Amino acid sequence: MALGLHRRSGHQPRLTTRQEHERQQRRRSSFIAAASTFVVLVAVAVFIPRMPRWDRVKKSFFDVNQMRDSFPRLIDAFWLDVKIFVWTTPAIFIAALLIALARNSRSPALFPVRMLAAAYTDVMRGVPVILWIYLVGFGVPGLGLERPFNSPLLWGSVALGMTYSGYVAEVFRAGIDSVHESQRAAARSLGLSSAQTMRHVVLPQAIRRVVPPLLNDMVSLQKDVALVSLIGPIEILRQAGIDKAKFANFTPFVVAALIFLSVTIPLTRLTDYLWHRERRRTSGTRVAA
C-alpha cells in the first residue's frame, strides 16, 4: 500500500479523486466487455458442434476442399461484379446530380422539370430493384435490338443505374437543402448568378456533407450488382449457383459471401469513420453522461 502510493506519486502525475474514479470505471468497463465476449465465443464453439446435424452442415457449407476448388472461379466471376459496379457508379452520380439540380431549380418556367424529377425519384425508389432489373433487362432487349444492344448485361446495368440514381439524387438534394440560405445570400449579393452560386458555393459544401451517405449507397450498390445475375450474366452469385448444382454443396455460397465481405467491410468502416468525423465537426461538444 505504502509502496503503491510512493510509486504513483513518484512516476506519474498525481490523479485527482475523480480522475482515479474514472480510471477505475474505464478498467471495469473493458473487463466486462472482454468477459462477455469470451462467454459468447465459448458458447458458440461449444454448443454449435453439439447440434444434431452439425456434421452435415459442416460438410455442405464449410467444406475446405470445395472452398479451394471454387475460389478461383468465383474470384474470376467477381471481376464482372466489379466491372458492373465501376461503370454504373459514375453514371449514377452524374444522373443523380442532374436530377437533384432539377428538383432544386427555382424558376417557375422549370416547373415541369421539377415535377418530372420528383416523379422519377418516386417511381425509381418505389419499386424493388429486382423488378426493375427484370422489366428493363428482359423488356428492352425484347424490342428486337441488334447486338450489342440486346445484351442483358447492358440493360441489367442500366436498370441498376436507374434505381440507384433515384436514391442518390435524394441524398444530393438533402445536401443541397442543408446549405444555409445565408450562403446563397452572400454569393448573390456579390453579383454571382444563381448557376454560379450553385456551382461554386452551394454544391461544394453540399457534396462534402453527403459523402458518408453516398458511400453507404455505394456499399448497397456493390451488393445489388449480384441481382443482375438473375437475367443471365455469369457473375459471382450465378457462378456460385452453378458450382453448388455441380458439386451438390453449398460451400461456394459461403465463399461468395466472404468475397463480398472483403470489399464491403472496408467500405463500411470507411463510411462509419467519415460519419463520425462529420458528426464531431458539426454537432458540438458531447455531453458527459
Q: How far is the CB of 274 from another protein (least distance, A)?
A: 16
Q: Which is nearer to another protein, 195 or 288 (CB)?
A: 195
Q: Which is nearer to another protein, 136 or 206 (CB)?
A: 206
Chain contacts with another protein (rule: CB under 8 A): 182-183, 185-193, 196, 200-201, 204-205, 208
Q: How far is the CB of 283 from another protein (least distance, A)?
A: 15
What is the DSSP track for 121-133? Answer: HHHHHHS-HHHHH
Q: How far is the CB of 153 from another protein (least distance, A)?
A: 40
Q: How far is the CB of 196 from another protein (least distance, A)?
A: 5
**Cα 177 from Cα 141, distance rounded (Å):** 39
**Cα 207 from Cα 215, distance rounded (Å):** 12
Is 149 strand, coil or helix? coil
Q: Which is nearer to another protein, 205 or 264 (CB)?
A: 205
User: Is 63:243 a contact under the CB 8 Å cutoff?
Assistant: no
**Cα 173 from Cα 202, distance rounded (Å):** 11
Q: How far is the CB of 193 from another protein (least distance, A)?
A: 6
Q: Provide the residue type at 154 as one letter.
A: L
Q: Helices marked H in 179-250 — which ranges?
A: 181-189, 194-197, 203-209, 211-224, 236-247
Q: Which is nearer to another protein, 8 or 208 (CB)?
A: 208
Q: How far is the CB of 200 from another protein (least distance, A)?
A: 6
Q: Which is nearer to another protein, 209 or 223 (CB)?
A: 209
Q: Which is nearer to another protein, 13 or 191 (CB)?
A: 191
Through-space distance between the first and last CA atoms of the chain, rounded to whole angstroms: 32
Q: How far is the CB of 180 from another protein (least distance, A)?
A: 8
Q: Which is nearer to another protein, 60 or 194 (CB)?
A: 194
How large is the C-alpha radius of gyration of the chain? 27
**Cα 211 from Cα 206, distance rounded (Å):** 9
Is 226 strand, coil or helix? helix
**Cα 117 from Cα 122, distance rounded (Å):** 9
Residues in the chain: 289
